[in-house]
Structure 1
């Protein structure tokens, strides 16, 4: 049985590299002896670079390409560690957000809590210091609470009052605007009625913004959003108790 030797593949890559080395050497020698122009140094670098690139292209044939296992891959250890760190950070952030949200809810509950010594039974409570109104039912449960704008002047004394007059439409003193759902419970020193109503409109514009609710801005009455004014109007018929606290 005859034996055949495996065909020997020409080492084109090695031959190309060897050829490029000889060419570079020859160019350098000629440049040094003055045979080539004074720009030989630049030419030498350019030719050497081109020959080296050609040698690499020739040497790297498909049969000699790097195995996928030798290619650079992401760090198998650092990636999960980074993910774990990110997860821990997200958990910490979530915990911080949850704590902040819990604190916000507690602060909101404190803000909406009825003032101390604000009466009992079915009533409307207004706090001058907190610029807030509470509608409280007969079981002493708050059915609605919201920010308002009370008087900017010291013309309403704390105490217990009752609704004595109501007007769905009204005009402010000195023609200071029109208002709706006016629920009156007392009078100021000059005899002008004091009560709850929506934000007055003057010359087609509200005299204050919704964002300003919570700040005392009126001449004596308690200004509300239209929706809150309607709710109080429905909640407080004649004779309803109104408690004003500090």
Structure 2
């Protein structure tokens, strides 16, 4: 991560079996409020979280299903992680170019990451922010910032409390890294071993 606290974003799982369209599951407002309460009361929980879809991503195809945003054009080829700074969104992309998963994140409020191609060079299941600014899990580092490494991780905890809510994902709020919902942080951790390509687009 880097700066004081660095982090990631909100989860949206996609199912792209053999269908030509990537799909996302949609949740009701009541389910989202219930999930938010669970997230705040049990920040370490990983299982049971449902996906949330941002209003701008809602393109209803059939009841309970929405169209997932496509992998950005010009974001490289092959198996990779793609982070769009303007969309505040991450894609986990398979070798054939289809998205395995996409979700909203919270990147940095500072202009500390240039668009381009990177590779995962370090990973930590547990990490601490600079100046005791918080703790984070499943930290996957891919770039060097002015003060510390930049990477993906879950929403940091400071004095036992999350520094932002999952509902705020999709907005730049970190001090350097890319914050993700717990389930998404774990998914990226499993998807991106050392050497994995990471492409940042503007």
TM-score by length of 2: 0.68
Residue deviations 1:17-49, cap 9 Å, x none? xxxxxxxxxxxxxxxxxxxxxxxxxxxxxxxxx
Paired residues in the alignment total: 142
**Is residue 2:71 matched to residue 1:114?**
yes
Question: Which of 197, 213, 234 in structure 1 is aligned with 2:169?
Answer: 213
Name the structure where helix makes up a greater proportion of residues.
Answer: 1
**Is residue 2:191 matched to residue 1:244?**
no
Gaps of 5+ in 2: 1-57
**Is residue 2:177 matched to residue 1:235?**
no
Residue deviations 1:76-95, cap 9 Å, x none? xxxxxxxxxxxxxxxxxxxx
Structure 1 residue 193, shift from structure 2 partner: 0.5
Name the structure where strand makes up a greater proportion of residues.
Answer: 2
How do residues 29-178 of structure 1 correspond to structure 2 at under 5 angstroms? 104-105=59-60, 109=67, 112-178=69-135
In 1: Cα distance, 2:131 partner to 2:179 partner? 17
In 2: Cα distance, 1:122 partner to 1:212 partner? 28
Structure 1 residue 105, shift from structure 2 partner: 2.5
SS state at 1:233 partner: helix
Structure 1 residue 114, shift from structure 2 partner: 1.2
SS state at 2:59 partner: helix
In 2: Cα distance, 1:153 partner to 1:208 partner? 17
Check the 8 A contact 2:78/2:96 in 1, yes or no: yes
Residue deviations 1:100-145, cap 9 Å, x none? xxx8226x53x61111101010000000000000000111110000
TM-score by length of 1: 0.56
Residue deviations 1:212-240, cap 9 Å, x none? 00000001100001110000000000000
Structure 1 residue 189, shift from structure 2 partner: 1.9
Residue deviations 1:178-210, cap 9 Å, x none? 0000000011123x0100000000011000001
Structure 1 segments (4+ residues) deviating >4 Å: none
Q: Which has the larger radius of gyration?
A: 1
Aligned-CA RMSD value: 1.5
Check the 8 A contact 2:71/2:98 in 1, yes or no: no
